[in-house]
Amino acid sequence: MDTKIIIGIIVAIIIIAGAVMALGGGSQESKIDIVGSTSVQPVAEKLAEVYMKEHPNVKINVQGGGSSVGITSAQQGTADIGTSSKELKDNESAGLTEYMIAKDGIVIAVNSQNSVSALTPDQVKGIFSGNITNWKEVGGSDAEINVVTREDGSGTRSAFEEIVMGKETKIKKDAIVQSSTEAVKQAVKQDPNAIGFISLANLDESVKALKIDGVTPSEATVTDGTYKVQRPFLFLVKGDAKGAVKEFIDWVLSPAGQEIVKSEKLVPAK
């Protein structure tokens, strides 16, 4: 007897769950798909979460894939909003409307015991490409430079490659690969001879941020553009934004939305 009751309950639960799922898809609500940069993803998710709380009839789905995926999906219209954490090239931006929602600085970080506190972009390039291998070549102590990088595909890495390394130069092959900003920070923190790059949003006291061209990375220097190693966070829409998508983007660019950008430790666009 007991087993039958239990089986009955299980069957009932399955039927109810199935019904809920089947009916859930059919209701009248607007859906926004956001696809693209994995660097933009966290802030986009946070924005979507707050927005959905305020507008229960809007459903926002945020996915990663990378900036190039964001650009293609916006162009082809497979996503309502494509996101990119790099400037668009001329041939990419055709037919797209760009909305800059935030800016992010990329900090070149070294151990706090390191005597070097400023580098030129060329020196950074030399270090990461393997042409400069000793700290004394850039004015530090006589010790080998341990380069720490991120995995292929990481948004921070591709932005760093694009801004600092340029098209032809590659990050050297035997650089230590760490899987997250936190891991890079940890690696730099415990090795006096290490160098790595992290997002300004994740900078704290545990590592030393290098001046690039004499400019210290900070919210102020990223905003006024004097700190050069920075990237925009873009929302891309095919043609002009309409309806629910436009309302969402307007809200993101409004003070309320920019406040959330700030709480994610990014530099607001305006």
Partner 1 sequence: MNKRLEEYFVEKGLFITAIFSIIVILLIIAFIFREGFPIFQEYGFLNFIFGMDWAPSDGQYGVFTMIIGSLCITILALIMAVPLSILCAIFMAEIAPPTMTKILKPVIETLAGIPSVVYGFFGLIVLVPFVRVQFGGTGFSMLTASIILTVMILPTIISVSVDALRSVPLEYKEASLALGATQWQTIKNVIFPAAIPGVITAIILGMGRAVGETLAVIMVAGNVTQIPGSIMDPVRALTSNIALEMGYATGLHYNALFGTAVVLFLMIMVLLVIANYYHYKKKVVIGGGYL
Query: Binding residue for partner 1 (CB under 8 A) from 36, 65, 126, 268?
Result: 65
Structure tokens at 21: 């799922």
Under the binding rule (CB under 8 A), the answer on residue 151 touching partner 1 is yes
Looking at 69, 119, 195, 229, which residue binds partner 1 (CB under 8 A)? 69
Site string for partner 1, 15-54 (x = CB under 8 A): -----------------------x----------------
Query: Quick one: residue 132, left, alpha or beta (phi over 0 = left, psi -120 to 50 = alpha)?
Result: beta
- Which amino acid does the sequence have at 57? N
Indicate which single residue of 154, 181, 199, 258 sits in contact with partner 1 (rule: CB under 8 A). 154
Task: Compute CA 270 distance to the chain's CA centroid, rounded to the nearest angstrom.
Answer: 18
CB nearer partner 1, residue 134 or residue 216? 134
Residue whose CB is less far from partner 1, 7 or 17? 7
**In this structure, what are the phi and psi dihedrals at residue 235, rounded to the nearest 5 degrees?**
-100, 130
Nearest-5° angle of CA 127, CA 87, CA 162? 15
Nearer to partner 1, 121 or 192 (CB): 192
Binding of residue 236 to partner 1 (CB under 8 A) = no
Considering only 49-57, 65-73, 195-203, 236-244, which stretch makes contact with partner 1 by CB under 8 A? 65-73
**Options 43-51, 184-192, 212-220, 229-237: segment touching partner 1 (CB under 8 A):** 184-192
Instruction: Examine residue 159 and tell whether it contacts partner 1 (CB under 8 A).
Output: no
Is 178 a residue that touches partner 1 (CB under 8 A)? yes
Report the alpha-carbon distance of residue 67 to residue 232 in Å, rounded.
11
Q: Are 126 and 9 in contact (CB under 8 A)?
A: no
34 neighbors 60 (Cβ within 8 angstroms): yes
In the complex with partner 1, which residue's Cβ is closer, 103 or 157?
Answer: 157
CB 37, CB 85: distance < 8 Å: yes
Closest CB to partner 1 among 69 and 266?
69
| 175 or 222: CB nearest partner 1 | 175
Secondary structure (DSSP) of 88-145: PPHHHHTTEEEEEEEEEEEEEEE-TT-S--EE-HHHHHHHHHTS--BGGGGTS-S-B-
- In the bound state with partner 1, the residue whose beta carbon lies nearer, of 58 and 177, is 177
Distance CA 107, CA 201 (A): 9
Q: Is 188 in the site for partner 1 (CB under 8 A)?
A: no
- Residue ranges binding partner 1 (CB under 8 A): 1, 3-4, 7, 38, 64-66, 69, 146, 151-154, 158, 173-179, 183, 186-187, 190-191, 194
